[in-house]
Amino acid sequence: MTGSILFQAIVFLAGAIVCVPLAKRFGLSSVLGYLLAGILIGPYVLGFVGEEGESIMHFAEFGVVMMLFLIGLEIEPQNFWKMRKTILGMGGAQVFGTMLLSFFAFSLFGFEWEVSLAASMAISLSSTAISLQTLKEKGLMGTTYGASSFSILLFQDIIVIFMLGVLPLLQKGESASTSDGHSSAENINLLENLPLGLHALAIVLSVALVVVAGRYLIVPMLRRIAATGVRELLVASALFIVFGIAFLMELVGLSPALGAFLGGVVLATSEFKHELESTLEPFKGLLLGLFFMAVGASINFVVIGENPVMISGLVIGVIVLKAIVLFFVASLFKLKIDQKLLLAVGLAQIGEFAFVLLSFAYELNIFDQMQLDIMLVVTALSMTLTPLLGIANERLILPRVGTKESEQKPMDNIEKVHKVILVGFGHFGSTIGRFLRANGVEATILDQDSNRVDLLRKMGFEVYYGDASRIDLLESAGIAEADFLISAIDNPETTLHLVKKLQKKYPNVKLMVRAKNRYDAYELINWGVENIYRESLDTSVKLASDVLLQMGFGKRMVQNQAQKFIQFDEESLRRLAVKMKNEEEYIFRAREEIAQQEKCLEEDRKAEKVLD
């Protein structure tokens, strides 16, 4: 019965439902909840998952593939090109620095050079899944730390291709798969027997095929499918795109996750960008959760019991060594101390691609069975410890060594209470702050990007570093005495998290909240926020107004129409917010609202012409 697919599905879902909310309740990340669930249902605790855990791991790795596809969708190709120096610089320094130190460490303990090199390759890789999921949850993707982490992880995903190509050169004798009488058909590489030059050319052509197909095949296909109006076909198409690109990359020996990322970048400028994001997001979250649970279930407690000292030493040694290299790399690129610590702790684990490298090294007889088992356990344990180390870093170390208030300012100025607190001082927030200050209104400004904080202080702004979703920080900023809190945060999830906390503890503070789009605004309205400001509404209407003026429409009429359009749209927004839970009813009411809005504006325009 326990081998039933249905039973396994129930076990995994039940583990997630129980452990993840429990982790969140204690202020821990969802990643830790998934890992704990995997340990509990695994073969060494409750025993619900046994040998089939390995096949589940292969399936769950699609979560990593989808995550990188969605990240690719968020990156404009020109921005990706701008990041090339950071990707090659930080990523290259981290990978080769870690490999060099690991190689010498293993050689020092008497391991053969082939074993040392293969192990150092695996150790140099960090977990894309854990790191990026944590960045997303905490809303740190837009920070210097987030950009640096992403650059390093992307370089690792690229370099793993070359590592897989180097491993066969280290092979000692007949491969394990051949000697056992089994062929490794799991990973098919159509190019492995080609000469090096043709192999490289075929890889370049495969990448070019993804780029060309994205522009001239996939987008036209999506347009045809969207024209049918059948939503499930669009879901199937999105999955087809991701799995198809991943499979193509596997066929030519490339990382499927890297291929999916490239496909996302290619489609980032298409009109289906947001539709693909919303369609694949639930699949990504579910498969990532399954991946983390599979990692937890793969921890072999028998091996730990037989070699506790060696494994403990290896886990601590790996984390410390990687943290030192990451801290040094961050120093080379002039990151602030808190960003260095976040980077050093956040990427100090061994990553999911190490499972592939280690297993391949075993097939090539580079590792023996004991070495493989120990390295797999060390990899899984390092991934499991990462969320705990992150919590310790945030709560115990960063508050003492993070970006401090400006030393040029007297200490008593820090405690000055303003009636306005402004959270988030990027492009959107800084415009608000400058306008308020120009009109004699001072605000207490908070931002969680320490590099931006330092820059803004040099420009004369009184900005404080910190995570504004923490109530203790807001209280030190004078939230109890404030009349207004302006949230100009870029991340909708962080914004909603902040709103919920404030409405519970400080309901008298008037909230003025930025929303990235209409759907974020709906959610804020349903949580009782009155003052919502969509970042694109006024600018869009202003642009359309300028077009009408350029076409010869009267200035007074255009201004009146613009004001009425905004007013009607705001009223419509609140009426539609309550219908969001029912998609069919929402679409029906939205069509009615649009028709009514156009009718009213047309009548007003005709009336204006009569008056003119």
Of the ranges 116-125, 413-422, 568-577, the best mean pLDDT one: 116-125
Q: Which of 469, 458, 474, 456 is nearest to 420 (CA)?
A: 474
State the average pLDDT over residues 181-190.
48
- Cβ(266)–Cβ(215) under 8 Å? yes
- Cβ(355)–Cβ(377) under 8 Å? no
Q: Are residues 561 and 603 in the same domain?
A: yes
Instruction: Give, in order, the Cα–Cα distances in Å from 494 to each of 133, 137, 535.
Output: 14, 8, 16
Neighbours of 300 (CB within 10 A): 18
pLDDT computed for residue 413 by the predictor: 34
Structural domain includes residue 403: no
Structural domain includes residue 13: no
Q: Are residues 284 and 375 in the same domain?
A: yes
Q: Are residues 516 and 541 in the same domain?
A: no
The overall average pLDDT reported for the chain is 78
Lowest mean pLDDT among 176-180, 289-293, 559-563: 176-180
Per residue in 454-477, pLDDT (tens digit) is: 777 777 777 777 777 777 778 777
pLDDT computed for residue 233 by the predictor: 82
pLDDT computed for residue 420 by the predictor: 87
Q: Are residues 504 and 596 in the same domain?
A: no
Query: What is the C-alpha to C-alpha distance for residues 571 and 558, in angstroms, rounded to an integer?
Result: 20
Structural domain includes residue 15: no
Q: Is the pLDDT of residue 215 over 60?
A: yes
H-state helical runs in 252-368: 256-267, 273-297, 301-306, 308-332, 337-346, 353-363
Structural domain includes residue 47: no
Q: Are residues 80 and 214 in the same domain?
A: yes
Lowest mean pLDDT among 197-211, 295-309, 528-542: 197-211
- Cβ(418)–Cβ(443) under 8 Å? yes
> Exposure pattern of 56-89 as b/e (b: 16+ CB <10 Å)?
bbeebbbbbbbbbbbbbbebeeeebeeeeebbeb
Return left, alpha or beta for 120; rule: phi > 0 is left, psi -120 to 50 is alpha, else beta: alpha
Question: How many structural domains does the chain have?
Answer: 3
Q: Which of 437, 499, 439, 438 is nearest to 463 (CA)?
A: 437
Of the ranges 65-74, 79-88, 341-350, 488-497, the best mean pLDDT one: 341-350
Q: Is the pLDDT of residue 38 over 80?
A: yes
Of the ranges 278-287, 292-301, 383-392, 447-456, the best mean pLDDT one: 383-392
pLDDT computed for residue 545 by the predictor: 84
Query: What is the C-alpha to C-alpha distance for residues 577 and 584, in angstroms, rounded to an integer?
Result: 14
Q: Is the pLDDT of residue 361 over 70?
A: yes
Q: Are residues 506 and 575 in the same domain?
A: no
State the average pLDDT over residues 24-30.
72
Neighbours of 187 (CB within 10 A): 14
Residues 6+ apart with CB under 8 A from 332: 93
State the average pLDDT over residues 224-240.
78
Residue with tokens 């198409």: 237
Q: Are residues 106 and 253 in the same domain?
A: yes
Lowest mean pLDDT among 11-25, 192-206, 585-599: 192-206
Last residue of a domain, one of 535, 567, 602: 535
Structural domain includes residue 186: no
pLDDT confidence of 416, banded at 50, 70, 90?
low
Lowest mean pLDDT among 147-151, 233-237, 342-346: 233-237
Query: What is the C-alpha to C-alpha distance for residues 444 and 421, in angstroms, rounded to an integer?
Result: 5
Query: What is the C-alpha to C-alpha distance for residues 433 and 463, in angstroms, rounded to an integer?
Result: 10
User: Where in the sequence is the domain holding 520, given as residue range(s)?
Assistant: 408-535
pLDDT computed for residue 409 by the predictor: 35
Q: Are residues 115 and 130 in the same domain?
A: yes
Of the ranges 179-183, 242-246, 326-330, 353-357, the best mean pLDDT one: 326-330
Of all residues in the chain, the percent with pLDDT exceeding 70 is 84
Structural domain includes residue 37: no
State the average pLDDT over residues 204-233.
80
Structural domain includes residue 5: no
Instruction: Please indicate whether residue 126 or residue 279 has the higher confidence score (pLDDT).
Output: 126
> Exposure pattern of 220-237 as b/e (b: 16+ CB <10 Å)?
eebeebbeeeeeeebbeb
Q: Is the dihedral of CA 178, 183, 188, 193 positive or negative?
A: positive
Structural domain includes residue 348: yes
Q: Are residues 446 and 572 in the same domain?
A: no
Q: What is the CATH number of the domain that holds 512?
A: 3.40.50.720
Q: What is the CATH number of the domain that holds 74?
A: 1.20.1530.20
Q: Are residues 169 and 197 in the same domain?
A: yes
Q: Is the pLDDT of residue 14 over 50?
A: yes
Last residue of a domain, one of 484, 506, 535: 535
Angle of helix 273-297 relative to helix 30-41, nearest 10 degrees, comes to 40
If you write DSSP's letter for every residue of 376-440 in order, what string do you get?
A: HHHHHHHHHHHHHHHHHIIIIIHHHHSPPSPTTS-HHHHT---SEEEE--SHHHHHHHHHHHHTT
- Cβ(434)–Cβ(458) under 8 Å? no
pLDDT computed for residue 406 by the predictor: 39
Residue with tokens 């069975």: 369
How are beta strands 443-447 and 420-423 bridged, if at all?
Answer: parallel
Extended strands (E) in 504-550: 510-515, 531-534
Query: What is the C-alpha to C-alpha distance for residues 349 and 315, in angstroms, rounded to an integer?
Result: 9
Q: Are residues 239 and 365 in the same domain?
A: yes
Q: Are residues 239 and 127 in the same domain?
A: yes
Q: Is the pLDDT of residue 590 over 50?
A: yes
Last residue of a domain, one of 535, 556, 578: 535
Q: What would the two tokens of residue 436 be? A: 């308020």
Instruction: Give, in order, the Cα–Cα distances in Å from 233 to each of 266, 316, 350.
Output: 21, 48, 38
Instruction: Please indicate whether residue 349 or residue 589 has the higher confidence score (pLDDT).
Output: 349
